[in-house]
Homo-oligomer: A and B are copies of this chain.
Amino acid sequence: MNIGEIARRSGVARSTVSYALSGKRPVSEATRQRIQAVIDELGYRPNAVARALKEGRTRTIGLVIPPASRRLTDMQLGFVASVVDAAARADLDVLLSPSGGEHDRSFERLVGGRRVDGVILMEIRLEDDRVTRLRQSGLPFVCIGRTDRPDEMSWVDIDYETLIANCLHHLADLGHRRVALVNRSAELVAAGYGPSHRTRAGFTRMLAERNLDGVHVCCADDAQSGVSCVAQLLAEHPGLTAIATINEAAIPGMYRALTHAGLAVPGDFSVVGVAARHWAENLHPPFTAADVPADELGACAVDMLIQRIADPEAAHRHVLVAPPISLRGTTGPARPRDGLA
């Protein structure tokens, strides 16, 4: 069923049908209704592919997510959900590409095949091949996260450096002197994952500024790893009284390890960090954290992308959010462990 068929059955030219539908030229009410009747009868819908070819745009955006093999964190899921939702509100479709750091076929189809009008990229590394590829392609794109050359691109990001600093200020104010930072996985850090590096930088800076003793460890993104990671921390650093973390997925395991060690939270030990609001609220106990508004960030990225598609020459925009810490009761005054100060 195509526009030619509708035109024939209505006894008009194809272009008349097109104009009747789009309203870009006036069409007499009588023919308009006749055409509409035929359309309703046959259930005709314009072929989106033909329209895309003619118009030179697909009304579709690409969303590049980490490969499905690795399980997404709650924050990542929040991004995906809000991007999809915001796109739907703008009548845009979303093409999903599960692409790792390297060029893979799905990503190449998106970019090279001009299947989308723009791309949203997640999980950005400080040096990111996909960003390079997209820039060279000329396709509008927006990152959730940023590389080490952030001026040359549009992005929304979380100010991990500031957030972790806020966490340490909070802990230091409560009298904690020895604190650990539980980062994301060693692989991510090795791959130059931006948030991990900026968090570590902020952590190191604050240790000096507040004269704290600190240890930095990586931890895979799952509860099991959280258990073993914290168990090891407690064993090797008896003076430790608090943990700051950006590793959402490991937190349930961290809680378990503390409970298992006989440490009450927050009576004996404090935990604070950065997490998606939804996740922080639903942990047990609810987690004192800088609440990342994942929903807003995804929607914001979509808005920025829509604007970039409309005006690719416009100056890049940057949104850096640093939400305050929401106290939910996993931090308290320092209490020395094991007779160590």
Residues in A lying within 8 Å of B, measured CB to CB: 43, 45-50, 52-53, 58, 60, 63, 65, 67-69, 71-72, 77, 81-82, 84-85, 88, 91, 93-98, 104-106, 108-110, 112-115, 136, 222-224, 252, 256, 278, 282, 284
Task: Indicate which residue in B48, B82, B91, B114 contacts A68 across the interface (CB closer than 8 Å).
Answer: B82
Additional A-B contacts beyond A60-B95, A60-B115, A71-B278 (11; CB < 8 A): A49-B53, A68-B82, A68-B88, A71-B81, A72-B77, A91-B106, A91-B109, A93-B109, A95-B95, A223-B282, A252-B284
Most B-side CB within 10 Å, residue of A43, A49, A58, A104: A49
User: Are A93's CB and B115's CB within 8 A?
Assistant: yes
Task: Indicate which residue in B49, B60, B85, B110 contacts A114 across the interface (CB closer than 8 Å).
Answer: B49
Q: A106-B88, A252-B284 are in contact. Are A48 and B113 (CB under 8 A)?
A: yes
User: Are B284's CB and A256's CB within 8 A?
Assistant: yes
Which chain B residue lies CB-closest to A282?
B223
User: Are A49's CB and B47's CB within 8 A?
Assistant: no
CB distance from A181 to the nearest CB of B (A): 24
Query: How far does the alpha carbon of A109 sit from the alpha carbon of B49 in the complex, in Å?
Result: 11
Q: A223-B282, A284-B223 are in contact. Are A93 and B82 (CB under 8 A)?
A: no
Which chain B residue lies CB-closest to A62?
B93
Residues of B near A50 (CB, < 8 A) are 53
